[in-house]
């Protein structure tokens, strides 16, 4: 009979490459389990830095690495890790262990994947509390797994994309040599699936270049529509890379710009009345400003009364109101021709009211195809509104992000494909092909 006692070893504990389980120690009082591993003699030791074969042994140290819980018991994997001479690095190096997370040597890779998986549905901070793992290790591990998933990441074929910017950091976090643009991220969304397909650092034009270069010439040719904000210099880049794409200025940004121009007019008008009348009736200042920025249908009764009184006093403001309503209605037009007529009317009325800010603004858009393309494609970056909310929630949950690369990865994880549903299988495919 064999003298060696056969232990019952759960199958999940027999997956440590190069090692076998020698013993399992249970500590009932602390609900903790220690799995003691024994190295196989024929194991090939590789360098953690250069993955070359290591030479003679110099030293060894006892490793206690956190592993996945079993029946809510905490588990550590315990083994001797060797330090050997690496002829390539010309130094003593620790050996490479397959099942240990490379960025956090006190954690198994299994646990790292699990933390990443949990962080898809919860904040990393919560995951760290749930598993009582140090917060910073959790962040590091989550980022490491996301970076690994990114290596197999495939940008899906797209024909309609929207480009929008997201405010990612406050000005306090601005580093030396960075401009305001660096506080933003450029988010690229597939209009068909409403998923984030890529996130670039900064909101500069170059942010788009990296995306177009990554997907390649042919994929660029397949893009038919690009929606974006008129103020950013994206147009030039889109024309340069995507010969077949028509550019659409985003409706929400246009309305915003229009309202700003209109507000300039109102301010000018009010300046004429001087301080005295402002004291009497603070209609355009402070809290009343928002009344003007909302559509008439959305205003309350009191708000409407305010405006009516105001209009009696000031005919020009009344005219401005009409122009605004007209402009908003224009987006409901059936076709471009109908919309063109409406914008011409806005222009005429602005001329009659001598609203030069508004005139200037209308002139700046009415000759541009990007403006009229909306009536052909009916696309706005409005799809990103939902995504913007998801991104904001992400930011709140983590109390902001200092690391922009990590934030970009998290956006792609939450609102895109960089998660276990998609990117994991892409990563496996790439690894098996390689």
Interface with Zn ion (CB under 5 A): 47, 49-50, 86, 88-89
Beta bridge partners of 190: 161, 195
d(CA 418, CA 142): 12
Comparing CB distances to Zn ion, the nearer of 96 and 292 is 96
| Residue 174 CB, nearest approach to Zn ion (Å) | 39
d(CA 323, CA 315): 13
Place of tokens 């994997």: 77
Long-range contacts of 320-327 (CB under 8 A, 24+ apart): 320/262, 320/265, 320/266, 320/353, 320/355, 320/358, 321/292, 321/296, 322/349, 323/262, 323/349, 323/350, 323/353, 323/355, 323/358, 324/258, 324/259, 324/262, 325/295, 325/296, 327/255, 327/258
| Residue 86 CB, nearest approach to Zn ion (Å) | 3
Comparing CB distances to Zn ion, the nearer of 92 and 154 is 92
Structure tokens at 357: 């800010």
Comparing CB distances to Zn ion, the nearer of 45 and 204 is 45
Structure tokens at 239: 């024309």
Comparing CB distances to Zn ion, the nearer of 54 and 423 is 54
Comparing CB distances to Zn ion, the nearer of 35 and 86 is 86
Residue 153 DSSP code: -
| Residue 87 CB, nearest approach to Zn ion (Å) | 8
Comparing CB distances to Zn ion, the nearer of 105 and 382 is 105
Local structure of 91: helix, strand or coil: strand
| Residue 90 CB, nearest approach to Zn ion (Å) | 8
| Residue 52 CB, nearest approach to Zn ion (Å) | 5
Instruction: Please give the span between the terminal C-alpha atoms of the chain, in angstroms, as a whole number.
Output: 47
Kindly report the number of other CB atoms within 10 A of residue 276's CB atom.
Answer: 7
| Residue 37 CB, nearest approach to Zn ion (Å) | 23
Strands 32-39, 91-94: pairing is unpaired
| Residue 50 CB, nearest approach to Zn ion (Å) | 3
Ranges of H-type helices in 314-403: 315-330, 336-352, 356-366, 369-372, 374-377, 383-397
Comparing CB distances to Zn ion, the nearer of 50 and 359 is 50
Residue 57 parent element (H or E): strand 57-70
| Residue 88 CB, nearest approach to Zn ion (Å) | 4
| Residue 54 CB, nearest approach to Zn ion (Å) | 7
Comparing CB distances to Zn ion, the nearer of 49 and 243 is 49
N residues, the chain: 434
d(CA 283, CA 277): 10
d(CA 297, CA 300): 8
Comparing CB distances to Zn ion, the nearer of 81 and 324 is 81
């Amino acid at each position: 009979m064999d003298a060696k006692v056969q232990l019952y070893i759960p199958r999940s504990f027999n997956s440590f490459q190069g090692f076998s389980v020698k013993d399992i120690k249970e500590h009932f009082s602390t609900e903790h389990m220690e799995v003691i591993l024994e190295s196989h003699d024929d194991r090939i030791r590789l360098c953690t830095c250069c993955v070359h074969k290591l030479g003679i042994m110099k030293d060894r140290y006892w490793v206690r690495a956190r592993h996945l819980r079993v029946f809510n018991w905490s588990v550590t994997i315990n083994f001797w890790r060797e330090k050997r001479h690496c002829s390539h690095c010309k130094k003593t190096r620790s050996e490479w262990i397959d099942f240990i997370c490379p960025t956090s040597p006190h954690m198994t890779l299994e646990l790292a994947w699990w933390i990443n998986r949990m962080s898809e549905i919860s904040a990393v901070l919560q995951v760290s509390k749930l598993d009582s793992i140090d917060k910073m290790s959790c962040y590091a591990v989550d980022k490491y797994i996301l970076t690994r998933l990114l290596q197999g990441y495939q940008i899906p074929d797209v024909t309609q994309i929207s480009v929008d910017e997201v405010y990612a950091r406050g000005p306090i976090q601005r580093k030396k040599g960075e401009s305001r643009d660096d506080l933003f991220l450029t988010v690229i969304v597939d209009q068909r699936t409403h998923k984030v397909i890529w996130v670039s650092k900064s909101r500069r034009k170059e942010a788009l270049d990296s995306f177009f270069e990554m997907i390649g010439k042919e994929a660029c040719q397949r893009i038919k529509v690009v929606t974006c904000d008129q103020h950013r210099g994206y147009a030039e880049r889109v024309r340069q890379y995507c010969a077949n794409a028509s550019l659409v200025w985003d409706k929400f940004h246009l309305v915003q710009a229009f309202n700003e121009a209109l507000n300039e007019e109102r301010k000018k008008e009010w300046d004429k009345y001087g301080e005295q009348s402002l004291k009497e009736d603070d209609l355009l200042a402070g809290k009343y400003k928002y009344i003007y920025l909302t559509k008439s249908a959305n205003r309350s009764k009191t708000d409407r009364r305010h405006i009516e009184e105001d209009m009696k006093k000031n005919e020009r403001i009344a005219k401005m109101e009409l122009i605004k309503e007209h402009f908003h209605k224009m987006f409901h037009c059936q076709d471009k021709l109908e919309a063109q007529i409406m914008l011409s009317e806005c222009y005429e009325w602005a001329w009659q009211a001598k609203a030069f800010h508004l005139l200037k603004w209308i002139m700046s858009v009415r000759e541009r195809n990007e403006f009229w393309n909306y009536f052909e494609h009916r696309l706005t970056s409005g799809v990103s509104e939902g995504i913007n909310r998801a991104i904001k929630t992400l930011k709140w949950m983590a109390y902001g992000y200092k690391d922009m690369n990590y934030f970009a990865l998290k956006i792609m994880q939450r609102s895109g494909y960089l998660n276990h549903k998609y990117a994991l299988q892409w990563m496996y495919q790439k690894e098996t092909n390689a």
